[in-house]
Amino acid sequence: MNNNKTDGGTDSGALLDVKDLRIEFPTRRGILTAIDGVSLRLNSGEILGVVGESGAGKSLTGTAITGLLERPGRIAGGEIHFNGQRIDNLPAEAMRKLRGKQIGSIFQDPLTSLNPLYSVGRQLIETIRTHTDLTPRQARARAIEMLTQVGIPAPEQRIDQYPHQFSGGMRQRVVIALALCVNPKLVIADEPTTALDVSVQAQIIELLKQLCREHGSAVMLVTHDMGVIAETCDRVAVMYAGRLVEVGPVQEVVKQARHPYTRGLMGSIPKLGDEVEHLVQIDGAMPRLSHIPKGCAFNPRCPYATARCREEKPEFAQAGQGEVACWLWDGVNPATDPDTLFAEVSQAQRAKKQMNAVRPAPKTSVQNCGQEV
């Protein structure tokens, strides 16, 4: 699935190009920066996974792309280009025409995504007729066809039913039908399976993948389910505290993560069959937006953090086939195997610790205690 599309390094030809996006929330206590310098690129037909802890800014990035950022949030910097057109500064009406028609959305909770007072068919037909010139009769035929495509049995009857008459999984199928009914070029799926039964999750993801391939739609899949990412995506973007920390082809990010945070994230996936007393976790919690540390946002939780990480914000740099924002990779050959690099860094740390154990530690390191366990 990730054979033809690798990291879109070229400037032209990308379907979605987010450059240095910055989203701010002005509050009484000053401006909170929720998204800080995020750049993403998505080629047509490609599936990009966006992962990170809750509050990392995954959904917010998706919301900004669809132009549905709610007040007081605002895009304070950067550009969003879609299909060669800049869309972050489009007038509301032009943006509305783009939504649904060119950029479809799937929300997290299928139970609340549908208006309970209108039949499923009415909601489908309404969407189809907003974006096309079809007659009501044609739109209804199209709606039935969409319901068939998303695997709803007896669509001719079910089209006139109301959302409460569908189960959770079925409702998410309807939501997918709504998102894809006018063949958008891009679908932003915001945790489409989080609210669903585990047994239904795989079906929905498979359906989404298959339909997007058939319709030729690219997908931005926001999730924190690494299993879904590994099975579905071509490329993965990892976010932390409103910043992008690593982007790369899915195999590389999952198997050979280059950022300490991604390594922590991958390491915390429990493996079936392993008998463990405790689940592996990354110590600490993601900083609040009002208290994002100086330098690299991850430094207080990073076992490899150095003085530089606490002072300077790391730049995005090429590493392997992807990119990573981490000082560990500064001056290192991008082709270096991450496992080797991290082994070396750990060894150097251990050596330093032994030295400190022999000589009493200087006062400065006391301030940093707790960073290196």
> Is residue 97 at the binding interface for other proteins, with CB under 8 A as the rule?
yes
Listed residue (268, 251, 276, 222) closest to 108, CA to CA: 222
> Is residue 358 at the binding interface for other proteins, with CB under 8 A as the rule?
no
> Is residue 170 at the binding interface for other proteins, with CB under 8 A as the rule?
yes
Segment lying near other proteins (by CB under 8 A), choices 47-55, 99-107, 258-266, 345-353: 99-107
Distance CA 223, CA 44 (A): 20
> Is residue 74 at the binding interface for other proteins, with CB under 8 A as the rule?
no
Distance CA 75, CA 72 (A): 10
Amino acid at 344: E
Distance CA 59, CA 217 (A): 19
Segment lying near other proteins (by CB under 8 A), choices 22-30, 45-53, 174-182, 256-264: 174-182
> Is residue 176 at the binding interface for other proteins, with CB under 8 A as the rule?
no
CB 51 within 8 A of CB 236: yes
> Is residue 112 at the binding interface for other proteins, with CB under 8 A as the rule?
yes
> Is residue 268 at the binding interface for other proteins, with CB under 8 A as the rule?
no
| Least Å from the CB of residue 194 to other proteins | 13
Closest CB to other proteins among residues 3, 157: 157
> Is residue 131 at the binding interface for other proteins, with CB under 8 A as the rule?
yes
Question: What are the Cα distances from residue 231, in Å, to 62, 175, 202, 221, 272?
Answer: 21, 22, 10, 12, 17
> Is residue 166 at the binding interface for other proteins, with CB under 8 A as the rule?
yes
CB 261 within 8 A of CB 238: yes
Q: For residue 25, list its beta bridge partners.
A: 32
State the pairing for strand pair 235-240/243-249: antiparallel
Sheet holding 85-86, edge to edge: 30-42, 16-27, 74-82, 85-86
Amino acid at 358: V
Closest CB to other proteins among residues 82, 166: 166
| Least Å from the CB of residue 169 to other proteins | 10
| Least Å from the CB of residue 97 to other proteins | 6
> Is residue 342 at the binding interface for other proteins, with CB under 8 A as the rule?
no
Segment lying near other proteins (by CB under 8 A), choices 40-48, 110-118, 197-205, 293-301: 110-118
Which residues in this chain contact other proteins in the complex, by CB under 8 A? 66, 68, 96-101, 104-105, 107, 109, 112-119, 126-127, 130-131, 157, 161-162, 164-167, 170, 175, 178-179
